[in-house]
Structure 1
Amino acid sequence: MPTVSTKLAIIIVSYRNFDDVNRCLKSLARSDWDHFEVFICENGGDGAYRRLLATLAGSGRTLQRMSDGADALDRPQKRLVSVGKCRFQNRANVVRVGLASENLGYGGGVNAWLEPLLGDPGWDAALVLNPDTEADSRSLSELIAKSAEGFGMVGGSLVFDATPDKIINYGLHWSRATGRVVAIGRNAPVGSAPSVEELDRIDAVSGACVLVTRAFVEEVGLMAEDYFLYMEDLDWGRRRGKHRIGFASKAIIRHIGGTTIGSAVAPEKRSHLSIYLSARNSILYSRRFAGWRWLCHFGVGLLFAARYMLRGSVSAARVAFVGLLDGAKGKTGRPDAMPGGQRLG
């Protein structure tokens, strides 16, 4: 069980959002928690990896490069073809920046570091953070303190960057009736905590900021990778077994949201990739956990797809419909192309 000396492994998955990662690291550099190391997976290719290192490390920057040591984590891993070892300019915490062998998606990017970490005894809990987040100075210690109360999966006060007085959610609930994801506590005032009834409804903590204990990872397993993006956090929570979900109200994390694929905008202006993956993965998840009910959830998905058309976005409606069909067909993984010609590099 985590204690006051808990060693935390912080995992960040990047896709060419260099400034986001830099801002996130700057917030971690102000943390009141000393026992942590950071592991970044860059999914955007060799050029992005080199640019990320150039953005992060050097004179006057957030990090400084270190000589590679004897630690096995300093060397290329199973799906990390290169690893750059750094440390913060103003503190000794190590930051490793890894180049993924290909675009592994969110779950794959997390697992690219989490899998080798399972063979390393030097950590007690892992914190998965979106690159477009900023953690308050007390966030790490508050999350760890809550996990020490016996919780295997812990979330904090994830707040809107533009309106930091409002909570995005306490956690996520998946409706067995409709197949839709419900944000529990959305727009609640910051500093509030879920009621007992609300906490009981939470199926998972948002993957934008979720702490899991080592025991959780060892017993539940790694993140699901076949969704590529979206629903892997709910899948992780769904499989949690005996591990309880906790909420640390004083751990405040600002989240911009959607900076990688354009999901943090009005529904009709979302990127086709975001629309497609949301539709496809909702059905994949339902097929996995709802039995025959996934057919009903497909019908609900059609209604949501129709909303795009009613709002004047025929192309978005078409993409959502194709996503639903691909989910029904069981298509998983990285979508190389979709209606409208959008590709994922």
Structure 2
Amino acid sequence: MAEPHPATDPALGVVIVTYRSSDVIAACIASLRAATGVALHVVVVDNASPDDTVEVIRAAVPDLMGAAEAGQEGIALIEAGANGGFAAGVNLGLARLAANPALDRFWLLNPDCVVLPETPAALASHDPGPRGAAMIAHRVVYGDAPDTIQIDGGVIDRRTGITHNLNQFAPADSPAPDPEHIDFVTGASLVATRAHLERAGPLTEDYFLYYEEVDWALRRGNLPISYCAGAIVHHVAGTAIGSQRMGSVASPFSQYFKHRARAMFLRRHFPAGLIGGAAWSLAKAAQLRAQGHGAEAAALLRGFFGMAPPDPVLAALSPEARAKIGR
């Protein structure tokens, strides 16, 4: 991305939201800069990181552009000034990119992802067929186990609100899923079309973390989800907020916000599932306690049943973030 790409290269807008991402963002940016056969218009939105994330970004991108230039080919930085959550950061980036009429696809990419050089071009040029697409799913593998699939797209259990990753833990050379069976695309690496953005609008921001992309997918109307078999992304989960990784239990912070969001999602889309969702939460909390994860169990229950976060979780939030979740 150091030099402009030929006009014949397909264009792709990219939104990366950072928060305490100083340990991963340089590798993510380096992988994008190594992309071939594509013109990338990257906007990095920093949600007021308290660490040196912004300094790392500036050091990694000598030709970094400012917010006023966001949407141009290259990499631009927008400093949000407050942590309004994942969706708020994404929406800020999407608004800048969507102002460029030349961009028809927008890639939401986590800062803890590394992409293969050919992946961006595959996503930018993928043909979804005559029906078009709302979103383009693709293979995401574990960054620390790249021969193992993390997700090929997700499905929703409407009885509990629990989501499941298609092909999770399967070998990375497994066949692709039927896109007709995909309910949503992971927010860690999600390509949305302009048609979807215009139909569904921006992401809903009050989830703060988790389920934003699941909610967004359900607002796609009759636009299908497509699958790009030629794109692979490596994802190292849990670097900033302690999301679950292979062989680990999600942190209390992650537990609280994930299950808070699940309850919100059920109330909005599948209210009949709240009873099953509550039963699942009680059973899962009991399992976590039996395994010695009492803090994680308590955070899960407080999140699902609408209580305030545990004190350590609340202490980790900025005043702006507390206001965002009503605490």
Fold match by TM threshold 0.5: yes
Instruction: Report the counterpart of residue 139 of structure 2 in structure 1.
Output: 157
Counterparts in 2 of 1:195 and 1:315: CA distance versus 1, 3 Å: closer
Is residue 293 of structure 1 aligned with residue 273 of structure 2? yes
Please report the TM-score for the alignment, with normalisation by the length of structure 1.
Answer: 0.82
Q: CA deviation at 1:118?
A: 3.1
Alignment length, in residue pairs?
Answer: 309
Is residue 338 of structure 1 aligned with residue 310 of structure 2? yes
Is residue 145 of structure 1 aligned with residue 122 of structure 2? no
1:115-157 C-alpha deviation (Å, 9 max, x unpaired): 2333332312100000000010111121123245333311221
Instruction: Report the counterpart of residue 169 of structure 2 in structure 1.
Output: 187
Counterparts in 2 of 1:311 and 1:136: CA distance versus 1, 3 Å: same
Instruction: Report the counterpart of residue 332 of structure 1 in structure 2.
Output: none
Instruction: Report the counterpart of residue 63 of structure 1 in structure 2.
Output: 61
**Contact persistence 1:8–1:123 (CA under 8 A):** yes
**Contact persistence 1:33–1:141 (CA under 8 A):** yes
Instruction: Report the counterpart of residue 37 of structure 1 in structure 2.
Output: 41
Equivalences for residues 257-296 of structure 1 within 5 A = 257-265=237-245, 269-296=249-276
Is residue 114 of structure 1 aligned with residue 108 of structure 2? no
Counterparts in 2 of 1:134 and 1:67: CA distance versus 1, 3 Å: closer
**Contact persistence 1:257–1:263 (CA under 8 A):** yes
CA distance in 1, matches of 2:248, 2:237: 16
Alignment partner of 1:166: what SS? strand
Cα RMSD (Å)? 2.5
Q: Percent of counterpart pairs with the same letter?
A: 27
Equivalences for residues 1-345 of structure 1 within 5 A = 5-45=9-49, 48=51, 51-58=52-59, 62-65=60-63, 73-74=67-68, 93-149=73-129, 150-196=132-178, 199-265=179-245, 269-326=249-306, 337-340=309-312, 342-345=315-318
Question: Which residue identity is paired with 1:43?
Answer: N
**Contact persistence 2:140–2:232 (CA under 8 A):** yes
1:200-221 C-alpha deviation (Å, 9 max, x unpaired): 2211111111111111111111
CA distance in 2, matches of 1:295, 1:267: 29
Give ranges in structure 2 of 5+ residues lacking alignment.
1-6, 319-327
Counterparts in 2 of 1:262 and 1:299: CA distance versus 1, 3 Å: same
Question: Which residue identity is paired with 1:293?
Answer: G
Instruction: Report the counterpart of residue 80 of structure 1 in structure 2.
Output: none
Give ranges in structure 1 of 5+ residues lacking alignment.
76-82, 86-91, 330-334
Please report the TM-score for the alignment, with normalisation by the length of structure 2.
Answer: 0.86
Question: Which residue identity is paired with 1:138?
Answer: E
CA distance in 1, matches of 2:64, 2:188: 28
Question: Which residue identity is paired with 2:56?
Answer: T
